[in-house]
A and B are shown apart, each in its own frame.
Chain A
Amino acid sequence: MTIPGIIGGLFLVLGAAFLLLAGLGLVRMPDLFNRIQAGTKATTLGTLLTLAGAACLRPEWTLKLLLIGLFILLTNPISSQVLARAAHRTGAAKSEKTTVDRLVDDTEERP
């Protein structure tokens, strides 16, 4: 039992807890855009924390884990944005709690 081992294990659990929250957010959020928000943010931090934990447990894997982390940090927001844009352009349903939609206002102005 080592100190880096315990810290790494705790990082793993914390990261996995955020992944659980991501799943919960997907189920609970009322519309697509809010689901994307919960999904993207919580999985990004969750995965990064797990990778950090793995790097504490296995220092010799650090470079490869860093690569996975960087890749996820750069690509995960992009795929969410592309998806949100596609959904908005095809008129995805929005929750009735939504107060303003400037994008709809602007696209209606210039047909």
Chain B
Amino acid sequence: MVDILIYIATALTGTGILLALYRFLKGPSPADRVVAFDTLTLMTVTLIVIIALAEGRGIYLDVAVVYALLSFLGVIAVARYLERGF
């Protein structure tokens, strides 16, 4: 029963990732892509947590922590670049 729910959650998150990926590829402006990237990151963090659950390995949560941290810095850096860069 719980396994089935985990599969459903994975499928829903996966569809969300595909939709965000569409926006990432289509743009049109760089800022749109950054928004899509930011959203993709959080979806990936969730997916990592779901994978950690499915595999029963808590060590994957550390990956999620670091990923969330780096993407925050990444978005801030790109936003700064958009503001002053060109």
Contacts and interface: CB of A to CB of B under 8 A. Distances in A.
Interface in A57-90: 57-58, 60-61, 64-65, 67-68, 71-72, 75-76, 78-80, 82-83, 85-87, 89-90
B23 A9 contact: no
Dominant SS among interface residues on chain B: helix
A104 interface: no
Interface residues of B, number: 49
Given A19-B43, A46-B46, A80-B38, A54 B80 contact: no
A61 B65 CA distance: 13
Contact of B58 (A21, A50, A64, A78): A64
Interface string A15-59: 111011111101100001001100110011011001101100110
Nearest to B31: A87
Contacts of B65: 64, 67-68, 71
B45 A47 contact: yes
A2 B74 CA distance: 40
Interface string B2-29: 1011101111110111111011000001
B42 to A, nearest CB: 4
Interface of A: 1, 5-6, 8-10, 12-13, 15-17, 19-24, 26-27, 32, 35-36, 39-40, 43-44, 46-47, 50-51, 53-54, 57-58, 60-61, 64-65, 67-68, 71-72, 75-76, 78-80, 82-83, 85-87, 89-90, 92-93
